[in-house]
Chains A and B, each alone.
Chain A
């Protein structure tokens, strides 16, 4: 990786100013993804010394600094409690421990990777993103925004309301990218269903979620219908990993299984 200037900043203000001054400046999280690029980087701004690497818990939420590694998230006791540990489980499926000790939650959210196994489970929780400059926003609205977003993510917060949840990654080998991934949650009778690596970025199946919320005790048949409705509701496509038709089968199967699991069926 060719870097012209490496900036070790000690305040968020300094980092933000550099980011605004240099149009080509790049923020350095874990650097794992940045390293895969071939374009020379004129200004690399290292966020390491800004104290963004802690996880704190309040009665309502878990606040995770943007520089927290995926491994520290995965092994955090509070995060292990969320949705029966489904988020920790999802993170544990991304490459190996040594990789996850470097990749950060900040880079994983801000990269908006279409293959992400981080965004899909986060979408079925109540997650807010906190920025240095921009107003706090939900993960779902951040993901739906288009265009460049020149701000520093400082933390994400996750609501701790107890829920039942499941995550499924489908890949050719354990270390490979997802062919497709699915997450489902049930919080106080409200459903959330997310599908990622479609192959495009993860989305919530909003209309199916709303429909399910109106049904008091969904039967197995209803949950099977929900699987079919998700396939009709969200856009799935083809790429070198899988054809659209294969993704449709996978999504239908795992959404239904996930819903049955969270309903204890």
Chain B
């Protein structure tokens, strides 16, 4: 079945299977910045934005995207650049597997609450597991990004 939706501000029409997750659907169509971790709603690496809100691509059905706006890191290059810079300065990433999902959540958080404090960042990032870091540097990087480059 063909579905039409906006992917990173471009209209696309792709075939989707009735029970296919958005995660499998995007990866099958070569959008591979969206990672597959637990495939069971518990690690956050598959996070994408649906109408500017973070959702877990492994949990949402592809069919549900008809007519919706989906953003992945590929579509938010300028913001992702700023987030990467903050992560670099604070030493907040190691293998980087969790980064695309965290970057999208941080972008959404900044849109929702441009004054988010450390406790609010921690709460917003709950659900994003990182097997490398101890999360402290990520929170510092998030504060730097949300504060416009100042930590």
Cα distance, A28 to B44, chains bound together (Å): 22
A32 lies within 8 A of B127 (CB): no
User: Closest CB of chain B to A71's CB: distance in Å?
Assistant: 8
Would A46 and B19 count as touching, CB distance under 8 A? no
Asked if A30 meets B19 with Cβ closer than 8 Å, knowing A99-B41, A101-B54, the reply is no
Is B5 interfacial (CB-CB < 8 Å)?
no
Partner of B18, one of A44, A71, A96: A44
Assess whether A92 is in contact with B105, with CB atoms less than 8 Å apart. no
In Å, the complex CA distance between A62 and B89 comes to 46
Q: Is the CB of B64 within 8 A of A97?
A: no
Q: Do A31 and B126 touch (CB < 8 A)?
A: no
Q: Spot the interface stretch: B7-15, B26-34, B55-63, B72-80.
A: B55-63
Query: Is A2's CB under 8 angstroms from B19's CB?
Result: yes
B53 at interface by CB-CB < 8 Å:
yes
A1→B105 contact, CB < 8 A: no
Interface centre among A32, A48, A96 (most CB of B within 10 A): A96
Please provide the chain A residues from 28 to 55 with a CB less than 8 Å away from any CB of chain B in the complex: 28, 30-32, 35-36, 41, 44, 46, 48
Q: How many residues of A contact B (CB 8 A)?
A: 28
On chain B, the residues within 8 Å of A10 by CB distance are none
Query: B63 near A32 (CB under 8 angstroms)?
Result: no
> Closest CB-CB distance, A182 to chain B, in whole Å?
22
Q: Which residues of A contact B50 (CB under 8 A)?
A: 101
Question: Is B21 an interface residue when CB atoms closer than 8 A count as contact?
Answer: yes
The answer on a CB contact under 8 Å between B128 and A31 is no
Q: Is the CB–CB distance between B63 and A96 below 8 Å? A: no
Closest Cβ of chain A to B94, distance in Å, is 21
A3-B19, A4-B18, A6-B18 known; A97-B42 Cβ under 8 A: no
* Residues of B with C-beta under 8 A to A30: 59
The chain A residue with its CB closest to the CB of B17 is A3
Cβ-based interface call for A249 (8 A)? no
A31's nearest neighbour on chain B, judged by CB, is B61
Proximity string of chain B (94-135) to chain A, C-beta cutoff 8 Å, 1 when within and 0 when not: 000000010001001000000000000001111110000000
Instruction: Point out the residues of chain A lying under 8 angstroms from B41, CB to CB.
Output: 32, 35, 95, 99
Q: What is the minimal beta-carbon distance from A66 to any residue of chain B, in angstroms?
A: 16
Chain A residues numbered 85-130 whose CB sits less than 8 Å from any CB in chain B: 92, 95-99, 101-102
Shortest B130–chain A CB gap in Å is: 13
State whether A102 touches B18 (Cβ < 8 A). no
Q: Do B19 and A98 have beta carbons less than 8 Å apart? A: no
Contact of A3 with B126 in the complex, beta carbons under 8 Å: no
**Residues on the B chain within 8 Å of A99, using CB:** 41, 56, 59, 127
A94 to B66, CA, bound (A): 27
Set of chain B residues within 8 Å of A41, measured between Cβ atoms? 19
Nearest B residue to A98 via CB reads: B54
Given contacts A35-B21, A97-B127, A98-B44, whether A6 and B63 have CB atoms under 8 Å apart is yes
**What is the interface of chain A, defined by CB distance below 8 A to chain B?**
1-6, 8, 28, 30-32, 35-36, 41, 44, 46, 48, 71, 92, 95-99, 101-102, 174-175
Interface residues of B, Cβ cutoff 8 Å to A: 1, 17-21, 40-42, 44, 47, 50, 53-56, 58-61, 63-64, 66, 101, 105, 108, 123-128
28 interchain pairs, CB-CB under 8 A: A2-B19, A3-B18, A4-B18, A6-B1, A6-B19, A6-B61, A6-B63, A28-B61, A31-B59, A31-B61, A35-B21, A35-B59, A36-B40, A41-B19, A44-B18, A92-B123, A95-B126, A95-B127, A96-B125, A97-B127, A98-B44, A98-B47, A98-B54, A98-B101, A101-B55, A102-B59, A102-B60, A175-B42
